Amino acid sequence: MIPMSNLEIFHKLLKNYYSKKSKDCITSGEMSIIDNNCEYLGVPKILLMENAGKSVAEEVSRYLKENCKNRIYVFCGLGNNGGDGFVAVRHLTDYCSFEDTLTVVLLGKEEFIKTYEAGENFKILKNISQLDFRLTIKEAPYVEGVLEVIDEIENNREDNVIIIDALLGTGIRGDLREPFKTLVDNLNRLRYKENIKIISVDVETKGLRGNLVVTFHRNKMENDISKTVVKKIGIPTIAHYIVGWGDMYALSKRDPNSHKGENGKVLIVGGSKRYFGAPILSALASSKIVDLTTVVSVKHTIEALRDYPHLISYEVEGDYLSRDCVDEVMKLSKDYHVVILGSGLGINEDTKEFVNEYLNEIGDKKVVIDADAIKVIDYRDFEFKENFIFTPHRREFEYMGINIEDPTSLEDVKSTILLKGRYDIIFNNERIKINKTGNVGMTVGGTGDVLCGIVGAFFSKNDGFISACCGAYINGYAGDMLLSEKGYYYTPMDLIECIPKVLSMFR
Ligand SMILES: NC(=O)C1=CN([C@@H]2O[C@H](COP(=O)(O)OP(=O)(O)OC[C@H]3O[C@@H](n4cnc5c(N)ncnc54)[C@H](O)[C@@H]3O)[C@@H](O)[C@H]2O)[C@@H](O)CC1
Ligand SMILES: [K+]
């Protein structure tokens, strides 16, 4: 029988996940990853903004009244939520009658509009407003300007007033600043008036309570489902499941006030008389990212480490790691955020005992389990805990006893599995993603050791799933960069040297 490709495995698993998850609410953080990965797939943000703004205009048009003057006030922030508001206004000019008015109130100044796509849509409105007398644009960077507009709204009691809240969406951070706060307080007061309806774009701006929310793609956690309509805006389903630069932006950032050791400490446990170099590759990759990388191994590896003075080493007795060193390694592990276990360990009986006993005692310490360690685990009664990441290739995966054809065999798998291949699949019992960076030049020995070094380094400050996704993405991206520079003729050391260049693209 021809073995399934990773892409086929992905599709088999995806069916199961999709039926469980597709209707769920998502968080703002998840939405931002999807949004950026959409761009990675080639869907420009300005296109999504167009669809978002258009769908807002369609919903707002239902509130327009015939035989009466409609006044629409669109309060816009400086980010893309405001941008959706600008697009909605353009579409609304064609829904409104010539008796109606449209007033755009920008809470800031044009030069401070944050994004390209919002800026372009603002320019279009300015062009329109020169010729279309129904459209007025006001800049209100301060409380006074906001209160003037509120007064104007209150003084028009006969007209049908629709207020659009395009102030802040998923990009809000912390408590509302002025003049947003004053505006929201006043809008909350106005909402009790019979002739006024308040419609929010994507999410209600913090503290605001309006009549309707028009949200995009999926409902957001913060929205009250009973007054929310969800509109599709052209985000392809696969944007949920692809690893892209959205995931990279979601990795935790270095705190500028942090001290030595706070940006990650990784312990590499691997190596043997025969395969002494593998853990060094993992360690070199990890040391590009975290503050401290230590290798615990047999003397053959430790000797080879002398050329790398920035790596700390710890030698154990013998030619292989064996049961006798469990206590020693366990003690050492306590001082590290993450342990990477497996590269070059070998698979003899002694090492088997070491791996199983060590993992039995490890508790909730984060561990990346790679290479030989995957082969020697006794999977009978093994608990796939959340604090483990496995990084198998196809043959190693077969040892793990997970049946792709039977979704129930995944039910208890809380560990993240990064199944390496032409396409890497990252999954656990809750989530799945596919990574497509990388190329056939990476079949050279040692690239897997580099990968688990990167994954382990990310794991020190992030959860397992995102660490595995970003590790696969960065390792493959470095390979793709090398492909264009050197063709297929590069080594794991070249990959390691490429890591800083790739990472600095996603700061
Ligand atoms: N996620 C997606 O796929 C799409 C998102 N779009 C829109 O983009 C929005 C997200 O855009 P952004 O990421 O630009 O973020 P927002 O537009 O939500 O807000 C960012 C702006 O708000 C300011 N800000 C943040 N916290 C504040 C506070 N507490 N008080 C006052 N000002 C504050 C920031 O300085 C920044 O200027 C979504 O909510 C949605 O409306 C759409 O354009 C279409 C596609
Ligand atoms: K909003």
Residue 205 alpha carbon to ligand 1 centre in Å = 10
Task: Give 84-150 as a DSSP string.
Answer: HHHHHHHHHTTTS-TT-EEEEEESS-GGG---HHHHHHHHHHHHHHHH-TTEEEEE--SHHHHHHHH
Q: Which pLDDT tens digit goes with each residue over 162-173?
A: 999 999 998 888
Question: Would the pLDDT of 21 be above 80?
Answer: no
* Shortest-distance ligand to the CA of residue 84: 1
Q: Which pLDDT tens digit goes with each residue over 255-289?
A: 888 888 888 999 999 999 998 999 999 999 999 99
Q: What is the CATH number of the domain that holds 139?
A: 3.40.50.10260
Is 278 part of any known ligand binding site? yes
Residue 361 · residue 371 · CB < 8 Å = no
Q: Give the C-alpha separation, 33 to 37, whole Å.
A: 6
Residue 225 sits in the same domain as residue 280: no
> Does residue 269 have its Cβ closer than 6 Å to ligand 1?
no
Burial class (CB in 10 A: 0-12, 13-18, 19+), 54: middle
Q: Which pLDDT tens digit goes with each residue over 88-124?
A: 999 999 999 999 999 999 999 999 999 999 999 999 9
pLDDT band at 482 (very low <50, low <70, confident <90, very high): very high
pLDDT band at 408 (very low <50, low <70, confident <90, very high): confident
Strand, helix or coil at 166? strand
* Number of domains into which the chain is organized: 2
Residue 199 sits in the same domain as residue 342: no
Contacts of residue 395, Cβ cutoff 8 Å, sequence gap at least 6: none
Residue 433 sits in the same domain as residue 295: yes
> Does residue 117 have its Cβ closer than 6 Å to ligand 1?
no
Residue 281 alpha carbon to ligand 1 centre in Å = 41
Is 217 part of any known ligand binding site? no
Contacts of residue 257, Cβ cutoff 8 Å, sequence gap at least 6: none
Residue 174 alpha carbon to ligand 1 centre in Å = 13
Q: Give the C-alpha separation, 436 to 40, whole Å.
A: 11
CA distances (Å), origin 131, targets 84, 125, 208, 496, 498:
22, 10, 33, 58, 54
* Secondary element (H or E) of residue 199: strand 196-201
Residue 206 sits in the same domain as residue 264: no
Q: Which pLDDT tens digit goes with each residue over 48-71?
A: 999 999 999 999 999 999 989 999
Residue 270 sits in the same domain as residue 203: no
Residue 451 · residue 391 · CB < 8 Å = yes
Q: Which pLDDT score, from 0 to 100, does residue 23 have?
A: 60
Is 441 part of any known ligand binding site? no
> Does residue 291 have its Cβ closer than 6 Å to ligand 1?
no
Quick check: is 225 in a domain? yes
> Does residue 33 have its Cβ closer than 6 Å to ligand 1?
no
Position 105, amino acid: V
Residue 172 alpha carbon to ligand 1 centre in Å = 6
Q: Which pLDDT score, from 0 to 100, does residue 300 have?
A: 93
Q: Which pLDDT score, from 0 to 100, does residue 20 have?
A: 62
Quick check: is 10 in a domain? no
Average pLDDT over residues 34-56: 96
CA 496 to centroid of chain Cα atoms: 23
Q: Which pLDDT score, from 0 to 100, does residue 293 have?
A: 97
Nearest CA owner, ligand 1 atom 2: 35
Residue 412 sits in the same domain as residue 293: yes
Q: Which pLDDT score, from 0 to 100, does residue 24 have?
A: 73
Domain-terminating residue out of 234, 265, 294 = 234
> Does residue 85 have its Cβ closer than 6 Å to ligand 1?
no
Least confident of 131-135, 156-160, 206-210, 396-400: 156-160
Quick check: is 244 in a domain? no
Q: Which pLDDT score, from 0 to 100, does residue 2 have?
A: 63
Strand, helix or coil at 313? strand
> Does residue 31 have its Cβ closer than 6 Å to ligand 1?
yes
Contacts of residue 218, Cβ cutoff 8 Å, sequence gap at least 6: 24, 25, 26, 31, 230
Residue 168 alpha carbon to ligand 1 centre in Å = 5
* Shortest-distance ligand to the CA of residue 170: 1
pTM, entire model? 0.90
Residue 187 sits in the same domain as residue 328: no
| Structural domain boundaries enclosing 188 | 44-234
Domain-terminating residue out of 201, 234, 267 = 234
* Ligand 1 atom nearest 167 alpha carbon: 17
Strand, helix or coil at 56? helix
Residue 344 sits in the same domain as residue 483: yes
Q: Which pLDDT score, from 0 to 100, does residue 158 have?
A: 86
Nearest to 102 by CA among 132, 65, 66: 132
Q: Which pLDDT tens digit goes with each residue over 217-241?
A: 999 988 999 999 999 999 999 999 9
Domain-terminating residue out of 234, 267, 301 = 234
Q: Which pLDDT score, from 0 to 100, does residue 337 have?
A: 98
* Ligand 1 atom nearest 45 alpha carbon: 45
Quick check: is 474 in a domain? yes
Task: Give 491-507 as a DSSP string.
Answer: -HHHHHHHHHHHHGGG-
Residue 377 sits in the same domain as residue 299: yes
Residue 86 sits in the same domain as residue 167: yes
Please, which residues bridge with residue 339 across strands? 267, 367
Residue 285 sits in the same domain as residue 225: no
Question: Would the pLDDT of 379 be above 80?
Answer: yes
Quick check: is 282 in a domain? yes
Q: Between 15 and 146, where is the model more confident?
A: 146
Q: Which two tokens stand for residue 473?
A: 């993405």
* Ligand 1 atom nearest 117 alpha carbon: 43
Quick check: is 239 in a domain? no
Round the average pLDDT of the chain to a whole number and report it: 94
Question: Would the pLDDT of 22 be above 70?
Answer: no
Residue 213 alpha carbon to ligand 2 centre in Å = 8
Question: Would the pLDDT of 199 be above 90?
Answer: yes
Strand, helix or coil at 244? coil
Least confident of 140-154, 369-383, 404-418: 404-418
Question: Would the pLDDT of 455 be above 90?
Answer: yes
Residue 94 sits in the same domain as residue 192: yes
Quick check: is 201 in a domain? yes
Quick check: is 501 in a domain? yes
Interface predicted TM-score (ipTM): 0.98
Q: What is the CATH number of the domain that holds 306?
A: 3.40.1190.20
> Does residue 166 have its Cβ closer than 6 Å to ligand 1?
no
